[in-house]
Structure 1
Amino acid sequence: MADLERIRLVILGGAGVGKSSIIKRFLFKTYTDKYRATVEDLFNREYDLGGVTLKVDILDTSGDMQFPAMRRLSIATAHAFMLVYASTSASSFQCVKQCFEEIREQRADYQDIPIVIAGNKSDLANTHREVRLEEVTDWVYCELPRLRAKVLECSAKEDQNVTDLFKTLLSLSRFLPVGSNNDGTSGLKRRSSAYVSASSSRNKNRNASTSVSGDKASSLFEAADPSTGSGVVKLKPRSRSLIRRASRKTKQQINNASDDCNFQ
């Protein structure tokens, strides 16, 4: 039986910066201009790493501050963070700074946690830029304590650097080699994937799963093609109570162990 590694990536940032768009562009190669406020969405995927199974949870959080308890729990259970701002909004960068302060206050190990600061909407930066990349890098590398962090600009709409965001997170987490000349996906085969929405009570349940093996297995950073029904099966919806129980269980595990995912 393959060994198990698990990593939870938590996406934080202000409302409307494109957190959900980044995730859906990466996972499903889809994009929409229609905005829908997120309460909390959880995406689950499994990958083969040559005898080791890597389970990846991607948690999409709310952009407002109406759910402080959920926010604290997401920060407490994270193995890595993506802090998203819009390069067209100076206030969204201030929100990223606030998110980092929350991480620093709650996590004594914040200097060891992989963090990617993502500047979305770079496709609009030529005409509507309010946040310069140099301003962000100066804040991260000059003003803050030494971190395991990297700054990247991206565009979910144009699919620019979206894959690099997640590849960088796993590289900082030491699941992938840093500075690799190729895409870093050699030998990484996706086993299955699932999507769970904690806010599905307001919308129709959305669940998808793909399972592939052998020579036809997709790489870690290759999203499933939603236009083909190949290998896609529906999962039973997971209730909000089940998600809350899972969250409590995870929180208990955090209290019992300083880190349940080996980054070293």
Structure 2
Amino acid sequence: MASRGLRRKKSSLQEVKLAVVGAPSVGKSALTVRFLTKRYIGEYDHQQDCKYKHEVLLDGEPILFEILDTCPKSLEELPGSEVAAWADALFLVYSITDRASFTYVRRARQSLQLPPDVPLALVGNKADMVHLRQVSGEEGEILAKDFECTFKEVAAAEQVSQVGEVFLEVSREVLALRRRCKHSLLDRMLGNKTARAYARGKSDSALPKE
């Protein structure tokens, strides 16, 4: 009995699907694993996209995260429309030490053809390697304004809370968007009835009293 109740409770969790997009070797997997486990692993040898599932407490509410860690083989390989269709939100990750990766996220954003309301986060990784910097923070801020999204420079190798907050912040945007959509739907469903009820109430109150 207890196990069935636990399964029902887990199935009722809100799910947030995040896709992490960026050029090869910018630290997408390191950021993802840092968020999920708080551990840092510097080297990965992925040959294909990876998906992770993890439950996290977000503002007191348990959320089931599903994260797609994309794995392009080259700078010419851009994410397909299936990524945009699957994800609730996207991380566009580049390395501040690699200008080509900065150009890649611009091209990737264009190729995804996202709906205007999909939450995005632009993340400049390897912020601890400022001596090798090729992309300035100002350039990141300008691109984020073009994308109309949040922007943060982080260091997966050194930071835990900052990396986690980037993931959590875009997830808050997803949940807020869902609430707005739900309220908008309810308003559309109830709007005519509410208007009619208000009109009746108003006309009734205008009747002369006996």
TM-score > 0.5, shorter chain as reference: yes
Match of 1:118 in 2: 123
Mapped contact 1:16–1:63 kept (Cα < 8 A):
no
Aligned equivalents of 1:48, 1:32: Cα separation in 2 = 23
Q: Is 2:79–2:111's contact at 8 Å kept on the other side of the alignment?
A: no
- 1:101-116 to 2 correspondence within 5 Å? 101-104=110-113, 107=114, 109=115, 111-116=116-121
In the alignment, which residue of structure 1 is the partner of 2:109?
A: 100
Paired residues, number: 170
Give, in angstroms, the shift of residue 162 of structure 1. 0.8
What is residue 201 of structure 2 aligned with on the other side?
none
Alpha-carbon spacing, 1:113–1:35, altered in 2? closer, same or farther (3 Å): same
Aligned residues of 1:5 and 1:54 also touching (Cα < 8 A): yes
| Corresponding position of 1:154 | 154
C-alpha RMSD of matched pairs (Å): 2.8
Taking the aligned partners of 1:151 and 1:52, their CA distance within structure 2 comes to 25
The residue type equivalent to 2:118 in the other structure is I
Q: Distance in 2 between matches of 1:166 and 1:69?
A: 22
Which of residues 111, 122, 129 in structure 1 aligns to 2:133?
129
**Equivalences for residues 123-202 of structure 1 within 5 A:** 123-125=128-130, 127-141=131-145, 143-144=146-147, 147=148, 149-159=149-159, 161-174=162-175
Matched residue of 2:178: which SS? Answer: coil
Contact 1:15 1:37 in 2 (8 A): no
2:78·2:111 contact (CA, 8 Å) conserved in 1?
Answer: no
Task: For 2:171, give the aligned amino acid.
Answer: L
Letter in 2 for 1:262: R
How big is the shift at 1:7? 1.6
Identity %: 26
Spell out, residue by residue over 1:38-75, the C-alpha distance to the aligned partner (whole angstroms, 9 max, x if none).
41111112356799763210110113359979743222
Cα distance in 2 for partners of 1:138, 1:121 equals 19
The CA deviation at 1:37 is 3.4
Q: CA deviation at 1:164?
A: 1.6
In our comparison, the structure showing a higher alpha carbon Rg is 2
Matches within 5 A, 1:1-264: 2=9, 3-47=12-56, 54-64=63-73, 71-104=80-113, 107=114, 109=115, 111-125=116-130, 127-141=131-145, 143-144=146-147, 147=148, 149-159=149-159, 161-174=162-175, 262-264=178-180
Q: What code does the residue aligned with 2:158 have?
A: E
Aligned partners of 2:94, 2:71: CA distance in 1, in Å? 13
In structure 2, stretches of 5+ residues that fail to align are 1-7, 181-210
CA distance in 2, matches of 1:102, 1:9: 17
